[in-house]
Structure formats: C-alpha cells, structure tokens
A and B are shown apart, each in its own frame.
Chain A
Amino acid sequence: MVDETRTLVEFARALRGQGLPAGTGATAEFCRAASLLEPTDLYWAGRATLVARREEIPTYDRVFREFFGAQLAPIPLPPPKPHVRLVTAGLDEGPEGDAGDASSPAVALASRVEILRRKSFDRCTREELDEIARLAAGFARALPRRHSRRRRPSTAGPLDLPRTLRRSLRTGGEPFDRRFRERRRAPRPLILLLDVSGSMADHSQALLVLAHSLRRIQPRTEVYCFGTRLTSATRALAVTDPDEALRRAAAQVVDWEGGTRIGESLKEFLDGTGHRGSARGAIVVVCSDGLDVGEPALLAEQMARLHRLAHRIVWLNPLKKDPAYEPLARGMEAALPYVDVFSSGHNLASLEEIALELSS
C-alpha cells in the first residue's frame, strides 16, 4: 500500500514537472480516488482529480502512458483542437522602443503630458509608454457602458426595500423616508486583437503596455496577438509587474515578424472563445495595417460574424495618420464595411477621440 501510494505521488510529481497544477491537495485527492476505484480505472481517477483544464488532457495522457504503460490507459481520445498554441520564442527582440529621438529642446517647454498624448506610439521609449499607460485610465473610463443586473442606490427608480425598511426604524416603523435604486452601469468587455507582424510590431507592443494597465480598470480586457496565427496574451498580462507581463506576452507570441493572416486569425478567435461569449456585447479593437496575405473573402466573412456579436468594432491603422492614406490594401478594403470606428490610434490623443466617438 505504501509502495502504491509512493507510485501515485511520483506520478503526480511527474505531472507537476510537466506544468500541471497537481498540488499536494490534488495529489491526496487522487490517492483517495484511486483507492475507491478498480485499478483499471486509475486513468480516470487521475483525470478527474489532477486535470483542471481541457488543454492539459494530452499532457496527462502522455505522462500517464509513460508511467503506467499503454495497457492501463484507455483508448486515447481524439486530441482537442488547440485554440491557442504557446510557443516560446526568443526574448531578445524585446519590446524596446527606439530611444534617442525622444524629445527636442524646442518642445521641452510645452506640457509634457500634452506631448506624450500626441506622440506616436512607435516613437515612444518604454518609460514614456509606462507614463502613457497611466494616462490611459481616463480613456478606459470613457468607454461606453452597459446596464448591469446589479443595482445601486439612486435618487429615483424602483423602491429599494431593504434600505427603506432600515430607514423606517428611525421613524417608528413608518416608511416616510423612501429609498430608491437603479441598475448599475458596468463597463463593456474590451477585446484587443493586435497585429504583431513586421511593420505593426512597435504599435502592438505599445498597445500591449496599454492593455496591461487597462486590465486594472476593466478586468474583462482580453488581448490576442496575431500574425500568421492567433495567440492569447490575456493570461500573460494578468501578472501585476508590467515588465514581467510584457516578457511573458512576448514569449508567447509566435511571430513578431512575418506575414499577416487576419481572416484566419479572426476565425480562430471566433471559433475559440469569441463566438461562445467573450465577443458578445464587447468593444473589439483590431490594430492592424490590413496588409493581409490571406483570402479577402474569408476576412470579410469573419468580420461579418464579429460584427453580429460585438457591440462596436474599432479598427486602428497607424497608416491612417497620413491624411493622404486610402484603404487600398485588399484586406483593409474587405474589413472596412464592418468597422464602426476607423482611426489611426497611433497616439493617446487619437485613442481618447475614439472613446468619445464610441460613447456619443
């Protein structure tokens, strides 16, 4: 029995080594489960107690087979379609903006904040971006909201019975002083889809810094990076230290340099969590120059899908800051009919304008 327990614990440790969150509590549960079952069901004992996420099942299967042999593992289930594949890329080409041409003496007198608001993201240093991120709180608060089902005290609206009752105690149980409540207004979920291919990399990294600070105001901010395929950066951005968050996000993003398949990336997003709920009623911000190497028809189709789900679609294209810009790129042309706000979004001032336009 002791030997058996030792084997089970070693198995759990092996899983931990492969990144599964098999802590001591879960391991104890696993041993208990195993003791309740026939040896032939050992596979399921572990599946129920040591696995907490669908993506972990293939790893579990592999370790299980290595540990107990294939005969104890039941018929392998078809591997789930990975929604997101995490690939560790080199970190060397990190998100360092080009320092140096930061500011000239001529503008040093003007308000520093004002300069920052107007400064194009791709010319900002990392420190400046941090400062912009702090300024961006106002941007997040200006975004449109929706009615929540929760209620809060107000001066008019339906009667707030709990509070009215409590007040009535002051007047001998007579509800003279009536209290009211109204629906709270909650921020809409914010979803950023960032193009990280070649020309867009600088802008997208700046927006990643912004996204990290926005998450503190709107916890339901999700960030995806795409180039030739889609990667979720949401989990990576959940850590509190911005540098660590960026490092992790950078490690997950598959292709900082490379072509762009916007249509396919959008489809991946919608097939994954987007259609099931996360895009519903959300403000979706796509940041891309629209230089798509994929099929424009696919892009149009996916944009239509997204348009039906999202509250508003914002497309940021830094090329648009040039007044002479025309959306001639095939991808941009295909996507544009479904875009609610089309803007350059290359600096904070432009983002603030967008927030205003969205709320109006």
Chain B
Amino acid sequence: MRFGSVDELEGALRDADYLPDRGLATSIFLALEMRRPLLLEGEAGVGKTEVAKTLARLLGADLIRLQCYEGIDASQALYEWDYARQLLYARALQAGELDVRAHASELYGPDFLVERPLLKAIRSGDRAVLLIDELDRADDEFEAFLLEILSDYTVTVPEIGTIAADEPPAVVVTSNRTRELHDALKRRCLYHWIEFPDLEREVEIIRLRAPEVPLRLARSVAEAVSRLRELDLVKPPGAAEAIDWARALALLGAEEAAGPDALQTLGWAVKNRDDLRAVEAAGLGG
C-alpha cells in the first residue's frame, strides 16, 4: 500500500486512531517512500511504539517486534539453530543410514532454523513492519550488527546463504536516549524527535483513544497534564499517562481533573514519589 501525499497518510493515521503532528507524518511518509528506517526519539509515553503498531494496522502488515535489552545478540535477534531437534534427528538417522551427505545438509536446512524477529522481518518483506524497540538498551556491538541489516535488508546465514528481502519491510527504531546511538546507525535512518502533543491535539488523542471520556473531562485532563509537564518532574506524564488518567477519572464518574477524585487517581499520571510530592507542593491535582 502506498500513500500519494503526506496529507493522505496523515488522514489514514487519523482514521487508525493515531494523531501525528505534521513533522511526524512527513517523516513516516518519507520513510515509506524512501524505504529507510525511521528512528524515533522522545520522552517515554509520547507514542513512539504506537507509531509502528498503527503503521502495521494501516499497511495490513504483521508487526514484528524486537525488544532490545542489554546483552541481546544474534541468536536472540536474528536466528538460531534448533540444536535439540538437530541432535534428535541425527540420532534417529543413525540406524543403517548410508547417504550421510544428504542428511548432513538436511540438518542445516530450513526445518531446523529458528527464526527470530529480524530474519522473520526480512523474509516477510513488505508484509511486515519491523519495530526495533528501545535500541539504546542494547549494547554497542549489537548496534554495529544491525548496520548490515538496516542498510541492505539482507541476512547471511553461513549454512544456507544470503537471504534478501524482495521489498524491504517498514522499519521503526525507537530510543529513549539513555545513551547516544552511533552516528553510523543514525546515518542510515530518518530521524524524528517526538514532542509532547499540544493541548488541542492531546484532547483529541484522549477522545480518540478513550471514547468513553466526555469532552469536558478530556479537556480538563489535558490541561492538568500540560500543567504537570511544566513542573520540574523526574518523569513528566506522556500521552499514554493522560489517556490512562482520563479513563480512570471517567470510571469514577468525575467531571473534571480536580478535587478528591483527581488526587486519588493522580498515580495514573505521576508515577514517582518525589514527583507526587512536588505536585502536592505546587497545589496541583487537588
């Protein structure tokens, strides 16, 4: 599926309940058109991961997610041989087999290859959206290893050969900036920094994601959240927190994000004890 213009893509994202700003929509459009990975950075909860999920729905593609963590390596990200099965198969063959050669190549055939997310995405090609989530958590070596895959969309398995994608999958890479990613990797990606949404967009986002929340409450929550972001908090609430908080308030039947209901549900928006104290000191949320 292709989009003729940024406007068309923006409309489609809206229909899929995701409200991007113009910059994000443009970046996604360019990433799709230019077949380049899209590197998204921004505070937690601004909807980085959501971009990939929405994109998958929009393109009718599978979302293949690779959650990064420290020490992740090729056997968890790319492929691994199913050693236990290979061993059993080799044992089963023992009795009176003569044509060893044929079976040896069978042992390292596709039957025994365990696909991990990256290989799966390359094989699926444009039927997949590959989400490489929180790449900053992985170590440097892994980033270097990703370079080949992200620039050529090919994977080399020594026993089988090179597997290339006919049409590359759409790739979304996210980072929380716990460390700076390497420039070599950044060069291969389009880059977008997602800001917190402005007030109007946030109201719209809450309404879209939580339709049960009345407009007045949604607006009140969006206002309260934007005031919270102005405080000097360790973890300012993102759009995800705003949605959760609005939902919680709606369930309690509150009409606005103020008073005792707001105070009791504040934990949905502010999830750090020092921050809660700072909010109380500022006289907000109560």
Chain A residues at the B interface, C-beta cutoff of 8 Å: 21, 23, 25-26, 29, 32-33, 36-38, 41, 44-45, 47-49, 51-54, 57, 74, 77-78, 80, 148-150, 161-162, 164-165, 168, 172-175, 184, 186, 219, 270-271, 273, 275-278, 301, 305
What are the interface flags for B127-169 relative to A under an 8 Å C-beta threshold, 1 for contact and 0 otherwise? 0000000001100100000000000000000000000000000
Determine whether the beta carbon of A149 is less than 8 Å from that of B71: yes
A48, A273, A276, A277, most chain B CB atoms within 10 A: A48
Determine whether the beta carbon of A29 is less than 8 Å from that of B177: no
- Chain B positions within 8 Å of A270 at CB level: 234
- Chain A positions within 8 Å of B235 at CB level: 275
Q: How far is the CB of B112 from chain A (nearest CB, A)?
A: 11
Instruction: Say if the beta carbon of B252 comes within 8 Å of chain A.
Output: no
Q: How far is the CB of B105 from chain A (nearest CB, A)?
A: 14
User: Which single residue of chain B is at the shortest CB-CB distance from A272?
Assistant: B177
- Chain A positions within 8 Å of B91 at CB level: 173-174
Q: Out of B5, B26, B83, B90, which one reaches A45, CB within 8 Å?
A: B26
A79 to B19, CA, bound (A): 22
- Chain B positions within 8 Å of A186 at CB level: 71
User: Which single residue of chain A is at the shortest CB-CB distance from B71?
Assistant: A149
User: Which single residue of chain B is at the shortest CB-CB distance from A21?
Assistant: B183
Determine whether the beta carbon of A44 is less than 8 Å from that of B83: no
Instruction: Say if the beta carbon of B23 comes within 8 Å of chain A.
Output: yes
Chain B residues at the A interface, C-beta cutoff of 8 Å: 5-6, 22-23, 26-27, 29-31, 33-34, 36, 41, 69-73, 81, 83-84, 86-87, 90-91, 93-94, 136-137, 140, 176-180, 183, 186-187, 190-193, 195, 232, 234-235, 274
The 3 closest A-B pairs by CB, nearest first: A277-B178, A149-B71, A161-B83
Q: Out of A52, A162, A275, which one reaches B234, CB within 8 Å?
A: A275
- Chain B positions within 8 Å of A80 at CB level: 193
Determine whether the beta carbon of A48 is less than 8 Å from that of B179: no
Q: Out of A21, A47, A277, which one reaches B137, CB within 8 Å?
A: A277
A47 to B24, CA, bound (A): 10
- Chain A positions within 8 Å of B29 at CB level: 36-37
Q: How far is the CB of A287 from chain B (nearest CB, A)?
A: 22
Determine whether the beta carbon of B69 is less than 8 Å from that of A32: no
- Chain A positions within 8 Å of B274 at CB level: 301, 305
- Chain A positions within 8 Å of B26 at CB level: 37, 41, 44-45, 48
Determine whether the beta carbon of A277 is less than 8 Å from that of B179: yes
Q: How far is the CB of B70 from chain A (nearest CB, A)?
A: 6
Q: Out of B70, B86, B180, B183, which one reaches A165, CB within 8 Å?
A: B86
Determine whether the beta carbon of B87 is less than 8 Å from that of A168: yes
Determine whether the beta carbon of A273 is less than 8 Å from that of B178: yes
Q: How far is the CB of A222 from chain B (nearest CB, A)?
A: 9
Determine whether the beta carbon of B187 is less than 8 Å from that of A47: no
Q: How far is the CB of A123 from chain B (nearest CB, A)?
A: 36
Determine whether the beta carbon of B22 is less than 8 Å from that of A165: no
User: Which single residue of chain B is at the shortest CB-CB distance from A278?
Assistant: B178
A214 to B186, CA, bound (A): 27
- Chain A positions within 8 Å of B191 at CB level: 47-49, 51-53
User: Which single residue of chain A is at the shortest CB-CB distance from B191?
Assistant: A52
User: Which single residue of chain A is at the shortest CB-CB distance from B82?
Assistant: A161
Determine whether the beta carbon of A47 is less than 8 Å from that of B86: no
B26, B36, B90, B94, most chain A CB atoms within 10 A: B26
Add 18 more A-B contacts to A49-B30, A271-B234, A276-B177 (CB < 8 A): A33-B30, A38-B6, A44-B22, A44-B27, A44-B30, A51-B191, A53-B191, A54-B177, A54-B193, A57-B193, A150-B71, A165-B87, A165-B90, A168-B87, A173-B94, A186-B71, A277-B136, A301-B274
- Chain A positions within 8 Å of B180 at CB level: 53
Determine whether the beta carbon of B176 is less than 8 Å from that of A168: no
Q: How far is the CB of A350 from chain B (nearest CB, A)?
A: 30
- Chain A positions within 8 Å of B6 at CB level: 37-38, 41
A41 to B6, CA, bound (A): 9
Q: How far is the CB of B95 from chain A (nearest CB, A)?
A: 11
Determine whether the beta carbon of A149 is less than 8 Å from that of B70: yes
Q: Out of A57, A74, A148, which one reaches B22, CB within 8 Å?
A: A74
- Chain A positions within 8 Å of B177 at CB level: 54, 273, 276
A136 to B202, CA, bound (A): 53
- Chain B positions within 8 Å of A278 at CB level: 178-179
- Chain B positions within 8 Å of A26 at CB level: 187
